[in-house]
Chain A
Amino acid sequence: MRLELQKITKQFPGVLANDRISISVDKGQVLGLLGENGAGKTTLMNILSGLYRPDSGKILIDGKERIFRDPAQAIEAGIGMVHQHFMLVPVFDVTESVVLGNEPTKGPLGSFDRATARAQVVELSKKHGLHVDPDAKIESLPVGVRQRVEILKALYRKSDILVLDEPSAVLTPQETEELFDIIRGLARGGTSVIFITHKLNEVIAVADKITVLRRGAVAGETTPKKATAAKLAEMVVGREVQLTVSRSKSHVAEPILQVKGLNVLNDAGGRAVNDVTFEVRSGEILAVAGVQGNGQTELVEALTGLRLVDSGTVALEKKPLHAGSPREIAMAGVAHIPEDRNRDGMIKGMTVAENYILNTYHLPQYSKNGLLNRKAIAAATEQAVKDFDVRTPSINTDIGSLSGGNQQKVIVAREFSRNVRLVIAAQPTRGLDVGSIEYIHRRIVEQRDAGAAVLIVSTELDEVLALGDRVAVMYEGRIVGILDAKQATRERVGLLMGGITK
């Protein structure tokens, strides 16, 4: 089916989320919808799936206008959504999950016809080349397979238009490749696919047509043949950007961070970090790769004093650190850019200045006799805002009203405002625009060049490969391999991320 959105406009209080957006996808075509967070992709898809109604504009399917009052009507019209966060019941098996909501029935009481359902699922997965065991329990399946179940679910509902929202966020590179094969297969079979992502390489790899959104409007259309990553990045950001950080060779010196036999428990009491040993030396960046949820979060929390160390030792320049409080660790020379900036890194409702001194407010230059020295705080913040190019109306603006990139700049400025021996940066560029990513990467490399040790934890393989002088891969709480930058190819790291060591 051909789907066309015409001049869709959606206004939320204070934001024009969609501004006369027109996109179209033909039968059997893959449309790559590219844009940063906040570009309006999600709003557009919520309109398409019937969650929101547009203020103006039309949705046409095969040339006929359709109005969706709720998601059921969108499904009826053949639009299937695969969300970033899966909507599956862990204890159900694959067959049950796929047919849930449209179960085939038999007998006068309408009881569940399991045999028919299973046969339908098997046939469907054969037809589209989506290999899954129809009897496997969802909770036993890896994430990549769960995604296939979600796709099957959409196909089972006779979706002719499949919308995939950031589908590769939770996948290893190999799984992403398999997903692309599936998408190509579906398109050959006549399904129209809308593939939403912020990753430039992915649209080039899989899309037939690319539409770029920027600030709620269509910034341009192109095809993979005509586009290069650099060109797409420019369309996404609205100006020329440098995609790779230029950095000199590292001058590696003495070890700064030494971790030995570290074990850390998660909130449920399970072992999240399992016997981890590594070191980071002055002047090098160790990048920790891994699919989300393999112990990286707990590792960083343990290193920064936010989580108790179960056993093992952590030393900073030979001094033990594993029993330190967050403040002691910070004052010992550790800069921590937290994984979730909204939760840990800043306080919305407080000003830029207050956030800038969030963990140094107690130092004598900012606080005397129990009183804050507002003049000194303002002066230091003004300087930092200038140095780090934070775009804010004033230092007394609520940090919550800044863009993600500027918020992160405030955090980075704050963490680099102290004497830094070790930088621990967890997902330092998550959700940021390409321009801010470039800037923050450069700042981190600067710290390395100034002699700090840098530990970066990231689930973005591109970031790991771009920054790491060495790359460690975490899988199920263990470090399954540490590679030098030269050996760390996309394939090798990808295999390690999936737990394959041989």
Chain B
Amino acid sequence: MNALKKFAVKVRVPALSISVALLIGALFIVFTDLEVLGGLLSDPIGALSLGIGRAAVAYSALFRGAFGDPATIQKALESNGDILVWARALRPLVESVVASVPLIFVGLGVSVAFRTGIFNIGGAGQFTMGAVGGTLAALFFGAGVTPAPIAILLVMLFGLIGGAAWAFLPGFLKARVGASEVITTIMLNFIAGQFVFFLVSNFEFIQKPPRIQPVSKELSQFVDLPGILPIASLRLDIGIIVALLTAVAVSWFLFRSTRGFELRAAGLNIAAAKYAGMGAATSIITAMLISGAISGLGGALVAVGTVKQLSPGIAGSVGFTAIAIALVGGTRPSGVVATALVFGLLQHGGSLMQVQTGIPIEMLLFIQALVIAFIAAPELTLGILKNPFRRRPRAVSK
């Protein structure tokens, strides 16, 4: 009971934030609908009920896109194990999890940096360079050059190295000359994207024939990451397993290891860390290397396993969403994984919502932004829970 209570206290702010954000999102859907707005004066009740109906339809699509359609699942249960029906029933949920894999990796990566007090905004760049490493490893060592398991390990290793190398630079600059990591990592994000563009449009052994588009060859021809579901058409591969193992490893590193202790100390109070004789420069560089390596590992696994192709935009909005995830998850590995799954559900559900109701997927960005705003103001969020109608005593300026 006590453990349950503790858990409830821990998740109440994130859970409440997500709920309220969805609620405000619904209001937004209602009041940006032109038909609703048009009818608001002549027939307010009719217009409002139309709007509420539309929001309900949109959220129902969001739900079905995220978890799957209950009707299809019902059919699957009655189908006597028909693979095709089962695949259709499970695909939305599986795809939601697939969408969360890069978020888990980069979320964990930036969390390690945040814990050390470094605002690593370069998750996207480190993810991209990891994808480059993984792609090159697949091209060099895949397709029978080395046995498949070794090729997969090399993909992961090169991903780690690519991400770590990309994070080393800002870490080194910050430790040595005090260059702001916020600026350097953002800039390196752009450079990483352009570097991929350069690679996939200039090298024959990388670029997809007939060399018109700036994308790499189909990587599944070289390395095929084994799926983990009995239905082959569902593309959930070992990436998610590695992601979860990474979360465990990060947790263990931060809270059990000597190095992790130093990093957390530096993150919470750099003056006290110096007083205690911990090297600040070492902490910064170590944290950035680990942070980048984790994001890079994610990049390699996503490029080779899920997308099966390297392209300049491979990171998408992962970098920024991952920052949000790290903050919402309290930079705690378990929190990051949980939040990444929720955001994965929202993302994949959002795409169905867009297809079925024409409400753009950017709506989900709006909801994500609201979630972050609520998380950033826990007092406000908990205040909503208390009693939204009670008038507070007027705030007094200091």
Residues of A within 8 A of B (CB): 51-53, 70, 304-306, 325-328, 330, 336, 338, 343-350, 354, 358-359, 361-362, 367, 370-372, 374
A195 to B198, CA, bound (A): 73
Task: Find the A residue at minimum CB distance from B398.
Answer: A51
B393 within 8 A of A: yes
Residues of B within 8 A of A (CB): 256-259, 261-262, 264-265, 268-269, 271-277, 393, 396-398
In the complex where A53-B396, A354-B261, A372-B256 touch, is A343 in contact with B269 (Cβ < 8 A)?
Answer: yes
SS class of chain B's interface: helix, strand, loop or mixed?
A: helix
- Closest Cβ of chain A to B272, distance in Å, is 5
Is there contact, CB below 8 Å, between A371 and B265? no
- Closest Cβ of chain B to A371, distance in Å, is 6
Mind listing 6 A-B residue pairs with CB under 8 Å? Answer: A70-B397, A327-B276, A343-B272, A370-B258, A371-B258, A372-B261
Residues of chain B lying within 8 A (CB to CB) of residue A344: 271-272, 274-275
A349 to B273, CA, bound (A): 13
Most A Cβ at <10 Å: residue of B261, B268, B271, B277: B277
Pick the contact of B268: A347, A361, A371 (CB < 8 A).
Answer: A347
In the complex where A343-B269, A347-B269, A350-B268 touch, is A326 in contact with B274 (Cβ < 8 A)?
Answer: yes
Residues of chain B lying within 8 A (CB to CB) of residue A328: 277
Residues of chain A lying within 8 A (CB to CB) of residue B261: 354, 361, 372
A53 to B262, CA, bound (A): 43
Is there contact, CB below 8 Å, between A372 and B258? yes
Pick the contact of B275: A51, A326, A350 (CB < 8 A).
Answer: A326
Is there contact, CB below 8 Å, between A327 and B277? yes
A306 to B280, CA, bound (A): 12
- Closest Cβ of chain B to A228, distance in Å, is 39
Task: Find the A residue at minimum CB distance from B259.
Answer: A370
Is there contact, CB below 8 Å, between A367 and B258? yes
Is there contact, CB below 8 Å, between B275 and A338? yes
Most B Cβ at <10 Å: residue of A70, A347, A354: A347
A327 to B262, CA, bound (A): 13
A51 to B397, CA, bound (A): 7
- Closest Cβ of chain B to A367, distance in Å, is 4
Residues of chain B lying within 8 A (CB to CB) of residue A53: 393, 396
Residues of chain A lying within 8 A (CB to CB) of residue B274: 306, 326, 344
Pick the contact of B257: A304, A354, A370 (CB < 8 A).
Answer: A370
- Closest Cβ of chain A to B312, distance in Å, is 38
Is there contact, CB below 8 Å, between B276 and A348? no
A359 to B269, CA, bound (A): 14
In the complex where A370-B258, A370-B259 touch, is A348 in contact with B396 (Cβ < 8 A)?
Answer: no
A444 to B345, CA, bound (A): 60
Most A Cβ at <10 Å: residue of B261, B268, B272, B273: B272
Residues of chain B lying within 8 A (CB to CB) of residue A51: 396, 398
- Closest Cβ of chain B to A76, distance in Å, is 17
- Closest Cβ of chain A to B90, distance in Å, is 40
A354 to B273, CA, bound (A): 12
Pick the contact of A359: B257, B268, B271, B277 (CB < 8 A).
Answer: B277
Task: Find the A residue at minimum CB distance from B266.
Answer: A347
Most A Cβ at <10 Å: residue of B259, B261, B273, B398: B261
Is there contact, CB below 8 Å, between B277 and A347? no
- Closest Cβ of chain B to A290, distance in Å, is 22
Pick the contact of B272: A70, A347, A367 (CB < 8 A).
Answer: A347
A327 to B279, CA, bound (A): 10
11 additional A-B residue pairs with CB within 8 Å, beyond A343-B269, A354-B261: A51-B398, A70-B397, A304-B275, A325-B277, A326-B274, A344-B272, A359-B276, A359-B277, A361-B262, A370-B257, A370-B259
Is there contact, CB below 8 Å, between A347 and B258? no
Task: Find the B residue at minimum CB distance from A350.
Answer: B268
Residues of chain A lying within 8 A (CB to CB) of residue B265: 347, 350, 354, 358
Is there contact, CB below 8 Å, between B257 and A371? yes
In the complex where A326-B274, A326-B276 touch, is A348 in contact with B257 (Cβ < 8 A)?
Answer: no
- Closest Cβ of chain A to B3, distance in Å, is 15
Residues of chain A lying within 8 A (CB to CB) of residue B262: 361
- Closest Cβ of chain A to B67, distance in Å, is 37
Task: Find the A residue at minimum CB distance from B260.
Answer: A372
Residues of chain B lying within 8 A (CB to CB) of residue A359: 275-277
Residues of chain B lying within 8 A (CB to CB) of residue A336: 275
- Closest Cβ of chain B to A265, distance in Å, is 18
Is there contact, CB below 8 Å, between B396 and A372? no
- Closest Cβ of chain A to B333, distance in Å, is 17
Is there contact, CB below 8 Å, between A348 and B398? no
A4 to B310, CA, bound (A): 76
A350 to B258, CA, bound (A): 14
Is there contact, CB below 8 Å, between B256 and A348? no
A4 to B396, CA, bound (A): 23
Residues of chain A lying within 8 A (CB to CB) of residue B272: 343-347, 358
- Closest Cβ of chain B to A412, distance in Å, is 15
A52 to B396, CA, bound (A): 6
- Closest Cβ of chain B to A388, distance in Å, is 19
- Closest Cβ of chain A to B215, distance in Å, is 42
Task: Find the B residue at minimum CB distance from A304.
Answer: B275
- Closest Cβ of chain A to B276, distance in Å, is 4
A193 to B74, CA, bound (A): 81
- Closest Cβ of chain B to A254, distance in Å, is 27
A456 to B257, CA, bound (A): 36
In the complex where A70-B397, A327-B277, A358-B276 touch, is A350 in contact with B264 (Cβ < 8 A)?
Answer: yes
Residues of chain B lying within 8 A (CB to CB) of residue A330: 277
A358 to B272, CA, bound (A): 9
Is there contact, CB below 8 Å, between B268 and A349? yes
A348 to B259, CA, bound (A): 19
- Closest Cβ of chain A to B114, distance in Å, is 13
A258 to B277, CA, bound (A): 23
A336 to B272, CA, bound (A): 12
A359 to B272, CA, bound (A): 10
A347 to B115, CA, bound (A): 13
Residues of chain A lying within 8 A (CB to CB) of residue B268: 347-350
A358 to B396, CA, bound (A): 39
Residues of chain A lying within 8 A (CB to CB) of residue B276: 326-327, 358-359, 361
Residues of chain B lying within 8 A (CB to CB) of residue A343: 269, 271-272
A3 to B2, CA, bound (A): 50
Is there contact, CB below 8 Å, between A70 and B264? no
Pick the contact of B258: A306, A325, A362 (CB < 8 A).
Answer: A362
Residues of chain A lying within 8 A (CB to CB) of residue B397: 70
Residues of chain A lying within 8 A (CB to CB) of residue B264: 350
Pick the contact of A326: B269, B277, B393, B396 (CB < 8 A).
Answer: B277
A370 to B259, CA, bound (A): 7
- Closest Cβ of chain B to A301, distance in Å, is 10
- Closest Cβ of chain A to B12, distance in Å, is 16
Task: Find the B residue at minimum CB distance from A374.
Answer: B256
A346 to B259, CA, bound (A): 18
- Closest Cβ of chain B to A251, distance in Å, is 31
A370 to B254, CA, bound (A): 12
A359 to B277, CA, bound (A): 6
- Closest Cβ of chain A to B262, distance in Å, is 8
Residues of chain B lying within 8 A (CB to CB) of residue A358: 265, 272, 276
